[in-house]
Structure 1
């Protein structure tokens, strides 16, 4: 008599993974108890005994049992908007929302078209810049040195990504050129820039470059830093894209040549789509790293969200609340980075299904 197959239940999988032997059971119970203890202490500190309102600031202090979230209630404007003028901070808030909305809409498949995505990003960036910079439509001018907080972090990240990705594609194509002098020269440039720390590149573009450029080319320090960061991003991303190209079977491009397809059509319709699919995981990782490393601009005088957080507890009134401020800033970073990683996982599943 044949036995009918029964799919394993959730409890069957848990028992097989964590309680398959006495040692595994002991380790599972010990680690589970430790996790429960950690979570209980975090909940006790961050929720149960926490002080939430700035009106109860007197309950906070070095000897308090819980977190002092009152510092966030009192200083959240400084953390989110930095040095932006107080009465104009609504513009910075709307600009951030506009840029986040553009990022969300970019994830919708309907916008995965060169014309649509270009229009979306041009419109979104123009809206962001007009709101932040002002000087038109009756808006008070606010110069770049007064930008700060989350809006500056998002602006640097988006600008670096928009400039760096097309540049990375060009670099990758030049490095795989059939002309040796082009490929080797591009290889030297990419390897040289990749061997330098990002901070040194930022410092060079922000401080050193104005001494060797004519006055009309200097521009604002913020834009010079963005160009340097985009160049750094492009060199790393070019190697990622080139790796995706090398994973393609050579016969595909040869078949396209035999069919009489031009170089542009071969690259646009055959090579790049498959290369990006092959290089999707490291590409998402590169975007995550780029977002987190925007905090380095604080070294050269920009008031991004991490610097704004540091200023929030930099007074005698709140100097004990640095843990709470850093936890709040970390939560903001986590939201954006986790969203990027989850979207990358969705794209991997979608491309895997499409490739079947």
Structure 2
């Protein structure tokens, strides 16, 4: 009589994975105890013995044994909004909320269309810019040199993505052109830019470019840096998209040609949708890297969220609370990056189901 298969229980899987031998049992015990010790100390430092209010700052100075979150209570506006005028910071908050809302709506399948997703992001970005810059609808103008904190980080990321993604598609198409001159020239440009450090590109666009451009073409330093960053993003993303295109069976595009489809119809309806599906994991990874590397702009004088964090403990009152400030900044980065990664995982699962 055949034996009936029994699904292993959770206890069975744990025993098989972590306690199947003496060595596995010893390693599980040691590292489990170490993990519990680390968790216990973090909870004790960050929650149980922590000082949460700026009014109790003296407890931090007298060694409470816990985190001094009072610095966040006192300086959170500086971290989130930087040098933005205090009485206008509601605009900066609404601008950040607009971009977050656009990101959330991008997860809705209704917007998974080139025209809709483009219109959505352009609308969100314009709303963000109008709120931040002012000068319209009775809003007081606030110039770019007074932008800072999380809002500046989000602005750089959104602008780089909006400008860089169309460039990446164009670069990828030019590199796979049937004309050797165009393909090789584009290849040299992409490989050259990818071989350079991002910081050197930012520095060149921020500092060096004004010396070789006429005054009317120079523009604000912030926008020059965004253009340089978008160019860097586009070169990396172009290779990701080109890799997705190369994964397509050659017969699909040939069949589209045989049916009489024009070049742009083949690219728009056959090649690019499948290329983006194939290149989804590295594309999400590229967005994550782009968001994290916005912190590099602090080196060339911008007051983004990390630089704002430095300023939050950069006075005599809170100069001892750098760990707490950096922990708060790290939490901000974690929230955005984790949301991007989870969205990428959701898309992969949904597309995998659609392929079945």
> Which residue of structure 1 aligns with residue 211 of structure 2?
211
In the comparison of the two structures, how many residue pairs are matched?
356
**What corresponds to 2:254 in structure 1?**
254
Say which SS state the counterpart of residue 302 (structure 1) adopts: coil
CA distance in 2, matches of 1:262, 1:27: 62
Shift, 1:2, TM fit: 2.3
Q: Any idea what SS the aligned residue of 1:303 has?
A: coil
Counterpart of 1:142 in structure 2 is 142
How do residues 170-319 of structure 1 correspond to structure 2 at under 5 angstroms? 170-319=170-319
Partner of 1:52: 52
Matched, 1:114 2:114: yes
2:89 maps to which residue?
Answer: 89
Once the two structures are TM-superposed, the CA of residue 321 in structure 1 deviates from its matched residue by 0.2
Counterpart-to-counterpart distance in 2, 1:209 and 1:2 = 77
Structure 1 distance, partners of 2:42, 2:210, is 49
Match of 2:3 in 1: 3
Tell me, in whole angstroms, the C-alpha distance in 1 between the residues paired with 2:116 and 2:254.
Answer: 31
SS of the aligned residue for 2:346 comes to: helix
Tell me the equivalent position of 1:80: 80
Q: Distance in 2 between matches of 1:291 and 1:12?
A: 41
- Comparing 113-122 with 220-229, greater Cα deviation is found at 113-122
Any residues of structure 2 matched to 1:28-67 within 5 Å, and which?
A: 28-61=28-61, 63-67=63-67
| Within-5 A mapping of 1:318-333 | 318-333=318-333
1:154 matched to 2:154? The reply is yes
- Residue 64 of structure 1, CA deviation: 3.3
**Residues 12-39 of structure 1, C-alpha deviations (whole Å, 9 max, x = no match):** 1111100111111111111111100000
Please report the TM-score for the alignment, with normalisation by the length of structure 1.
Answer: 0.98
- 1:173-215 deviation line (CA, Å, top 9, x unaligned): 0000000000000000000000111001001111111111111
Could you tell me whether the CA contact under 8 Å between 1:62 and 1:320 is conserved in 2? no
**How far apart, in 1, do the equivalents of 2:148 and 2:9 lie?**
52
How far apart in 2 are the matches of 1:36 and 1:132? Answer: 45
* Alpha-carbon distance in structure 1 between the residues aligned to 2:277 and 2:131: 36
TM-score between both structures, scaled by the size of structure 2: 0.98
- Superposition deviation, residue 62 in structure 1: 7.2
* Post-superposition CA distance 1:251-293 (Å, at most 9, x none): 1111111111111111111111111111111111100000000
SS at match of 2:153: helix
- Measure, in 2, the Cα distance between the counterparts of 1:119 and 1:338: 25
Secondary structure of the residue aligned to 1:177 is coil
1:22 aligned onto 2:22: yes
Paired with 2:136 and 2:271, the residues of 1 have a C-alpha distance of 44
CA separation of 1:115/1:4 partners in 2, compared to 1, >3 Å: closer, same or farther?
A: same
SS at 2:61's partner residue? coil
Aligned-pair distance for 1:303? 0.3
Alpha-carbon offset, residue 82 of structure 1: 0.2
Instruction: Provide the C-alpha distance between the structure 2 equivalents of 1:316 and 1:134, rounded to a whole number of angstroms.
Output: 34
Whether the 8 Å CA contact 1:172–1:239 is kept in 2: the answer is yes
Q: CA deviation at 1:112?
A: 1.2
Q: What does 1:113-132 correspond to in 2, within 5 Å?
A: 113-132=113-132
